[in-house]
Amino acid sequence: MKYKIMGEPMPVVVCELEDREAMVTERGSMCWMSPNMKMSTAAGGIGKAFGRMFSGDSIFQNTYTAENGEGMIAFASSVPGSIRAVQITPDHPVIVQKRGFLASEQGVELSVFFQKRMAAGLFSGEGFIMQKLSGTGMAFLEIDGTTVEYELQPGQSMIVDSGNLALMDATCSMDIQSVKGVKNVLFGGEGFFNIRVTGPGKVVLQTMPISSIAASLIPFLPADRN
């Protein structure tokens, strides 16, 4: 499989497949394809289906397979930002924000990921459940806004505002840290908690989570006149 990512800040990834190669997507993100791409929809088992639902994706998966020769298919991002390609291997699974999965090769498995510390899940911007990508193959992920990447050393930590954590290696751990000071909490505009991510591993941050975009638009929406 060959691919090309283009068109930021509303990006699309165009994938060129060999005969019988296939791509999987969770949300019907296909925007165009060659005529010889065959689509099939399946839940992939009750356990996996409900795991995908709880992690923010659809119960069903769409699989697109190139038949009778090479094929082409494109997947588009749902919000302004970027698309990131991540190579998944058995020794390199990654943890992704909810609804961050766009598409992947068939060898990649999407499953639910529960935070080890309940408090970290309940109060972080990503909620108690995130997504885990494992297996083997290339995966494409949606990033809200611009991507910023850090490599954390063992024991090295970074404090991240809720919702800005897009992706981290499974070797990283995540916990919460309360904002200190009553005035800071009430008037600082940063909420009650931040996220502490600790290495070792790679951390990918996003500059404009979709929740922040929605909040910034609320003052400009027309009031309900009913």
Query: Checking DSSP bridges between strand 101-105 and strand 22-25, what pairing results, if any?
Result: antiparallel
Q: Hey, what domains does the chain have and what are their CATH numbers? A: 2-214 (3.60.160.10)
For residue 54, what pLDDT is reported? 52
3-state DSSP assignment of residue 177: strand
Q: In what order do the strands lie in the sheet with 61-66?
A: 37-42, 61-66, 22-25, 101-105, 137-144, 81-88
Residues 156 and 171: their CA atoms lie apart, in Å, by 12
Tell me the mean pLDDT per 10 residues along the chain, length 226: 93 97 88 97 59 58 95 93 95 91 93 64 56 95 93 96 90 78 45 81 91 73 66
For residue 90, what pLDDT is reported? 96
For residue 187, what pLDDT is reported? 42
For residue 57, what pLDDT is reported? 56
Integer Rg of the chain from CA: 19
Helix, strand, coil shares, percent, the chain, to 5: 15, 50, 35
Q: In the numeric block, which tokens belong to residue 213? A: 């975009």
Residues 22 and 218: their CA atoms lie apart, in Å, by 40
Please give the DSSP secondary-structure letter assigned to residue 218. Answer: G
Report yes or no: 149 and 74 within 8 Å, Cβ to Cβ: no
Residues 129 and 113: their CA atoms lie apart, in Å, by 6
For residue 78, what pLDDT is reported? 86
57, 2, 56, 72: which is closest to 27 by C-alpha?
57
Residues 10 and 142: their CA atoms lie apart, in Å, by 10
> What DSSP line would sit under 46-115, residue for residue?
HHHHHHHHHTTS-SSEEEEEE-SS-EEEEEE-SSSEEEEEEEEBTTB-EEE-TT-EEEEETTEEEEEEE-
